[in-house]
Structure formats: structure tokens, C-alpha cells
Amino acid sequence: MTTTTLGTAAPVAVAAPTPRRRRRGLAPGKRLPAARLAGPLLLLVLWAAASAAGRLDPGAIPAPWTVLGTGARLWTDGTLPTDVLTSLERAAYGFAIGLTAGVVLALASGLSRTGEALIDGTVQLNRAIPVLGLIPLFILWLGIGETFKIAIIAIVVYIPIYLNTHAALSGIDHRFVELAEVQGLSRLQFVRQIVIPGALPGFFVGLRLGVTGSWLGLVVLEQINATSGLGYMMFQAQNYGQSDVILVGLLIYGVFGLVSDSAVRLIERRVLSWRRTLSN
Amino acid sequence: MAPHTEQLTRPAVRLRGLTRSFDGRTVLDGVDLDIPAGQFVALLGHSGSGKSTLLRAVAGLDHEVAGSGELTAPERVSVVFQDSRLLPWRRVLDNVLLGLDGKQAERQGREALAEVGLAGRERAWPNELSGGEAQRAALARSLVREPELLLADEPFGALDALTRIRMHTLLRELWERHRPSVLLVTHDVDEAIVLADRVLVLDHGRIGLDLTIDRPHPRSYRDPRLGEYRERLLAALGVTEDHQ
């Protein structure tokens, strides 16, 4: 009976079922295309515009095209390729040694109680000493050549790799240990099939910190104690007031950092593909 | 209760005076128990009654727990836990094959997955599975080793009611096909009655009641004849019907 329509009655304010509006999403939404490049590109545009408008002192901040021109000139006269190669070599050696040491020490300390007793405290002690504070001592020990630079970079790299890998190794879920016992896994199978894959996410966190650390160490070493390399080139440029050369050096450091970090991320995504289903 | 004297083979599981204690608190107080080969046994008890301790002792998972007693268990024992315990970094089939290798094992793994209704999901990652599917995969992992004894520690405790009923049917079917001895730890009286042929109640560290359930399978929760068993079990657990 309530369904009969009321002939010509005055329009009643019926509480019409309002269409259910979708709730506003709180997630940031879809990624913008080339999102990681947008910010740096905007900065570049602002820099170029300010230079073109004559708002920047060319002695302090030269225009982008001046920097590019200087880069091209240094490249063709052969000094830049030599410096870049020297720097890359240092970083690569230091990183390789640091990576190996970090992983080996983390495994030794994460998989055996004796190893933990011997290694973990020592690394923690090492971590507490600012690595750059070791530079004078290392110069005395190893001379001012390549060896001490590589040694410092290796130390900067191994610490975060060790710490994160060790934390991941000792944080393996106890339930998985029990599972391995029930399934009758041997010690080796347990390490290879459960411990190492389980520790990989932590290792990659350490790896990314280590890669960044290797460049950081390089910059400091080359600016204070070098006779060649990118930092040396910039140090010289400072003496002659060549801000464009300094900017060339900084840009190259930046590109190195960005490329190496992206490379690690790419490997991480490949290796940890099982995690992708989680973040989606 | 009369022991199963008709069984000619020696029991699959034999416990004599099994005692376990944690920090001086006795959890198992001299348990004697025989489980004949191929019997489906459910173990009931309050939380903290020691039922998981008993299961872990039989599974050999209680290192560093103080205790004494005699324990015999078969060579091939599989355990199903309350959580599926699938390794998130291995695909479903590789999880089923954990600890095995070879072509032969792989074929058996695929068969086991098909048996639990997961054919076609071999390449899935564990976190793509629903709770019920993950627990099926865990069942497949325990079956693929053709266990003589299957230990299950509240394996359906984390599942929703509908999934649980489906899993009961599946577990019973699998048992009928493979005939392992089963020790199912549960706190659910109905689950024990519907699934098991013998129900034990653990009370103060001892077997308080040993009840043989002599009804044909498949059993229904609504079978009135099961009500009598339920009452006896609830009484042994110290629960009276009017509390239900």
C-alpha cells in the first residue's frame, strides 16, 4: 500500500537514494610517467632560464651550455676520460672488496655462534669509528697512493652490507627453521634454500647503501688526498676559479650515483620478483 | 579404554611415560600411548593442556625441552602446522618439493598438488594463494613424502568455517587413499568427532579419556548418534552442554 503513487500531491521531499559516491582514495594514486626524471629536469630548465635571463653570475654558476661545452672540451683533449677512468677504477675496486668482505663476514657471523662472537662486536666497533677519521692513519700505513683510497672505500662499503645482511640472517623466522627440520633438510640445504633467500631483501638494502657509500668515500678522498681523478680535477679547478669544470665533475658524480643505484634496483627487482606481488 | 589388541602389527607410535616440563612446570606427566599403523587419532585439550607439546615431541621438534620417557615414531613423519608455512620466495611446486629433488619427485609433487585441487597453480607464489589454498599446498607438501605418520597441529584453526568443512572432507579423503597414521591436534570437539576414529583428551598432562568413535564415514555434524560422543568429550574437557 505504501507503493501506490500519490496522484497530484505536492512534491514531497522524498529522501531519494543518493547515488553512492566512491570514497576518496588515500593512496597517492598512479605513478606519473618518468617520475624520477621530472624533478631534475625541472631544475635544469630553471637553471637554463635563469642563466639565459642573465640572473646568475656566470663566474659562480655558469650556464648549462657553458658546462656542457667545457665537458666536451675536457673530453676531447683527453683529460676527462683519464680522470673518469681513474675514479671509476677506484670506486669499483673498493666496492668489490667491500662487498665481498661484507657478505663473507655477515655469513660467517650469521651462521655460526663462534663467528658471531668474533666478528659482530669487532664490526660494531669499526662502525663506531668515523671511517674518514681513519684517513691519516691509512696514509701513514699504506702511503698516499691508490691502496689507501681503495681500502677506505672498501670500509665505507662493507659496513652497511655487513650490518643489513647480518640482521637479515639472524632474523630468519624461527618457524622456517622448524619447517626445515621437519622436512629433513641438511645444513647446506637449509642455508641455501632458506637462510640465503630469506636474507636477500636485507642484503639488497645494504647493497644500495654500500653503492652510495662508495661514491661518497670517493668524492672525499679525491678532493683531499689525490693527484688524479675527478675530485683532483675539481680541486685544481677551484684554484683557478673554473666553476664550470667543478660543475662538470659534480654532474659526472651525480650520473655515476644515479646509474649505479638504478642498476642495483633493477637487479633487486629481478632477484626478489616474489615480492612484487606484495607491493602491488 | 581397552587397548587395540586386534592390531597385529606393532604400533606406529609408542609412548611410555613421556614427560616434558618447561621451567619446572610439568606439561606432560607420564603419557602412555600407542597409535596403531593407519589409525586416525584426534587429540583434544584445553589450550595449555600440553597437546602441542605432545605433538612436537613426537615430531622430534622439542630440542632443549627437559623431559624423559620412551618414544618410538616411524621413519617418515610429516607435519602440517597451523600456518601453511610456505616459503614466500619459492613457487608453490618448489615449496611442495622442499627437501626433495629429481624428476621423480617433481612428478610426485605435481600429483600431490592435483590431489589437493591445486593443479595449475604450480607456478604461483605463496602470497597469491588464499588461506585455504595455502593450507592445501601445505597438505600436498606433507603428502608428497608418503608419510607413515602425519602430525597436524590445529591445521584448520586459521581458516573460515566454510573452508574448514571443505578441508575436513579433503583430509579424510587423502587419509583413505594413503592410510598414514594421523595425530590431529585440535581444540574443536566437532572437528575431532567428524574426522577421527579415536579421540583422546589430554588433561593435566595425561590422557584423560580415550574414546573410539565407531560411526561410518562420511559423518555429518547433524548425526544425532554423534551427540553422545560429543557429550562425553565435553564432560572430559570440563564443559557442560548448557554452556553451549
pLDDT digits (tens, 9 = 90+) for A150-159: 999 999 999 9
Query: Which of A182 and A34 is assigned the larger pLDDT?
Result: A182
Number of domains in chain A: 1
CA of A206 vs chain B CAs: smallest distance (Å): 19
**Predicted confidence band at A15 (pLDDT cuts at 50, 70, 90)?**
low
* pLDDT computed for residue A14 by the predictor: 58
pLDDT tens column, A174-220: 999 999 999 999 999 999 999 999 999 999 999 999 998 898 888 88
CATH of the domain at A137: 1.10.3720.10
CB A161 within 8 A of CB A205: no
Among A173, A178, A182, A272, most B C-beta atoms within 10 A, so best to mutate, is A182
Name the nearest CA neighbour of B175 among B38, B34, B73: B38
pLDDT tens column, A85-98: 999 999 999 999 99
Q: Any residues with CB less than 8 A from the CB of A246 and at least 6 apart, and which?
A: A234, A237, A238
Strands B13-22 and B181-185: unpaired
Cβ pair A176:B85 closer than 8 A:
yes
Furthest CA-CA distance within chain A = 104
Mean pLDDT of A215-237: 87
Burial A199-213 (b: 16+ CB within 10 A, else e): bbebbbbbbbbbbbb
Phi/psi of residue A31, nearest 5 degrees: -65, 145
Taking CA atoms, what residue in B is nearest to A172? Answer: B87
Q: Which domain holds residue A253?
A: 67-272
pLDDT tens column, A99-150: 999 999 999 998 888 989 999 999 999 999 998 889 999 999 998 888 999 9
Furthest CA-CA distance within chain B = 57
At position A55, the amino acid (one-letter code) is R
Q: Name the burial class of residue B27, with classes exposed (0-12), middle (13-18) and buried (19+) by CB atoms within 10 angstroms of its CB.
A: buried
Domain assignment present for A60: no
Mean pLDDT of A36-49: 88
CA–CA gap between residue A155 and residue B105 (Å, rounded):
46
Q: Please list the ranges in chain B whose pLDDT falls under 70.
A: 1-9, 241-244
Name the grid cell of A50.
635563469
CA of B128 vs chain A CAs: smallest distance (Å): 7
Cβ pair A175:B81 closer than 8 A:
yes
Cβ pair A184:B78 closer than 8 A:
no
Domains belonging to chain B, first-starting first, are 38-65+148-244 (3.40.50.300), 85-146 (no CATH)
